[in-house]
A and B are shown apart, each in its own frame.
Chain A
Amino acid sequence: MTRADVIIVGGGIMGCSIAYHLARRGMRRVVVLERSHIASGATGRCGAGVRMQWGTKPNCLVMKESIRILEGLEQELSYPHGIGFKQKGYLFLAHSKAQLIQFQKNVQLQNSLGIPSEIVSPKDMKRIAPLLDTTGVVGGSYCSKDGHCDPFHTTRAYALAATRLGATLLQYTELQSVTKSAEGTFKLTTSAGEIEAPVLVNAAGAWSGYVASMLGVNLPVYSERHQILVTEQVERVLDPMIISLHEGLYCQQTPDGSFIMGLGDPNEPKGLDQGHSWQFLFAVSKKISRLLPDITGVRILRQWSGLYNMSPDRQAVLGAVDDVPGLYVACGFSGHGFMMAPAVSESMADIILGNTPRVAIDVYGLDRFKNGNLFYEPAVV
C-alpha cells in the first residue's frame, strides 16, 4: 500500500494545476491519478478560449485573476515551449435588442470589477473583425484582453512543474474503487495497485459524478457532448474569438492560423459519448458561412467532441464535500474549466490546506444546492 498526503483524481488542467499549487505550498506526497494521459479529456478537447466577459460577478473575478496569472505563467512554471497565450480579444454578437441589453448589464458589471470590456456597434465590429458579416447584428461586447491559450501545453506546464516539486503523476492508471476507513483514510484500488491518503480531490471532469458515487456522494452534475472542428492553417485574418449566443456558435483563429469552431446544440446526447456526427459538419458550416462568408473555402481537417460537466446553474462546483471529511471536489465547470483553472486551482489548494484563498470561491460550494443559492450564468455557449 502506497501512502500519499493527497490524491487527485483526474489529470486534466484542474488536477495538474491543483497538484502544482499543493506541492508549491509544501505538501510532500501529492499524487495525480489519470486513466489515460494528461489533457486527454475535456481539457485537450476544448475550444482553447480564455475570457473575462462573464455575466456573474464570481466568474468575472475568477477570470480576471486567471488571465492575470496566464500573462506570467510561462515564467512561473519555467516552460520554455510556451503555452500559446495570445490576447486578441473576444467579440460577443447581439442579434436582438434584448440580447444587447443583457450585454450592457454584463459590461457594466465587468467594468465595475476593473475588466476592460466595452459595448461596440456593428461599425466597430467591422474594424475589429473585418471579415465579419454584421447582417442582423445590432451590436455586441468586446474585450481586447480576452484570448487564446494552448490546453495541451498549459496542462503539461503545470504537470511538469508539479513533478519537479515532488508530485507524482500516475498516467494510464485507472481508479477502480475507493473506500473510507474508520480512521478517515481514503483507500483507493487502482490498475497499478493500492494507494491511500487522508485527502482526496475529485477533479475527474465528465467522470466526477461517477467517482463521487464510489463514496456514496451524489453530485448534482451530469455530462453532455459538445462537438468541435479545426481547419487547415491559413494566413491570419481573424483576431478575436467570435461568439454568437443566438447561433450557439463560437469560432476563433488560433495563433498557428487554423480556425477552431464549435456549437452549443441542445440535442446533443447526455452521458459519456465522445463520438461525433456528420450532421455537425453541415450545421456548423451553414452557421459560419453566415457570419464569416469569406472563410468557406478553408478546408476542415478534423472533428471531435468533448464532454461538458454540467451543473444546474452552469457554474462550477468547488470546495469541500461536507458529508465526507477530507473529500474535495472541483467539477461542474459547464464548458469553461480550462480557462478558470489558473485561479481556481490556487484557491482550491489554499482551501485544502486551511488557508484563506486570494480569490474567494465559496459561492461555488455544494451547499448552494441545499440552501437554494443558485446563480445562473447567462453568458455560456
Chain B
Amino acid sequence: MSSDAIICRCEDVLLSDIRRLLDSGLTTFDEVKKFSRCGMGPCQGRTCRSLVLAEIARHRGIRVQDLEPGRFRPPGKSIPISAFLEGGEEQ
C-alpha cells in the first residue's frame, strides 16, 4: 500500500502518519487514535480500525488477533442532541 494512502477518511490520516507514530513508539490502537485522531470522526473507526490494527500487527511482528482491538465508545452510531430532548429520566 502506498504510504500516502488515506487510512482515516473522516480525519484525513495517511498511512505515513500511522507509520510515523508507530516508529516513535506507539504500540496500540487507542494510542494511535488519541495522537492522530484516526477513528475519532463520524464513522467512529468503522473504516480505519482494521487497517490500523493490521499495520500495528505488522510493525510489532505479531498477529492481529493477538492485539487489543481498542475501546469502542457509545453511542456507537452518532445521534443528534435533539433526539434526547424528550423521554429519559427528568433531572
Residues in B neighbouring A256, C-beta threshold 8 A: 37
Residues in A neighbouring B81, C-beta threshold 8 A: 231, 285, 288-289, 295-300
From A39, A40, A289, A303, B85 is in contact (CB under 8 Å) with: A289
Q: Which B residues from 71 to 91 make CB contacts under 8 A with A? A: 73-75, 78-85, 87-89, 91
B85 touches A285 (CB 8 A): yes
Take A153-B35, A276-B74, A302-B73 as given contacts and tell me if A282 and B89 are in contact as well, using a CB distance cutoff of 8 Å: yes
Residue of B nearest to A38 (CB): B31
CA distance A11 to B91 in the complex (A): 36
B34 touches A282 (CB 8 A): no
Take A281-B75, A302-B74, A303-B75 as given contacts and tell me if A296 and B80 are in contact as well, using a CB distance cutoff of 8 Å: yes
CA distance A197 to B21 in the complex (A): 31
Residue of B nearest to A304 (CB): B73
- Chain B interface mostly helix, strand, loop or mixed? loop
How many A-B pairs fall under 8 Å by CB? 86
Residues in A neighbouring B78, C-beta threshold 8 A: 232, 299-301
Residues in A neighbouring B80, C-beta threshold 8 A: 296-300
Interface residues on A, range: 20 to 34
| Shortest distance between the CB of B82 and any CB in chain A (Å) | 4
CA distance A11 to B5 in the complex (A): 33
B55 within 8 A of A: no
Residue of B nearest to A247 (CB): B91
A24 within 8 A of B: no
B contact residues, total (Cβ < 8 Å) = 27
CA distance A278 to B89 in the complex (A): 10
Residues in A neighbouring B26, C-beta threshold 8 A: 37
CA distance A301 to B35 in the complex (A): 18
A44 within 8 A of B: yes
| Shortest distance between the CB of A262 and any CB in chain B (Å) | 14
Residues in B neighbouring A210, C-beta threshold 8 A: none
B73 touches A286 (CB 8 A): no
Q: Which A residues from 141 to 157 make CB contacts under 8 A with B? A: 152-153, 156
Can you name 19 A-B pairs with beta carbons within 8 Å? A152-B34, A232-B41, A279-B89, A281-B75, A282-B89, A285-B81, A288-B81, A289-B82, A296-B80, A297-B80, A298-B81, A301-B40, A301-B41, A301-B42, A301-B73, A302-B44, A302-B73, A303-B74, A303-B75
**Can you add 7 more A-B contacts, CB < 8 Å, to A300-B75, A301-B40, A302-B40?**
A152-B35, A153-B35, A282-B89, A286-B85, A289-B81, A296-B81, A300-B78
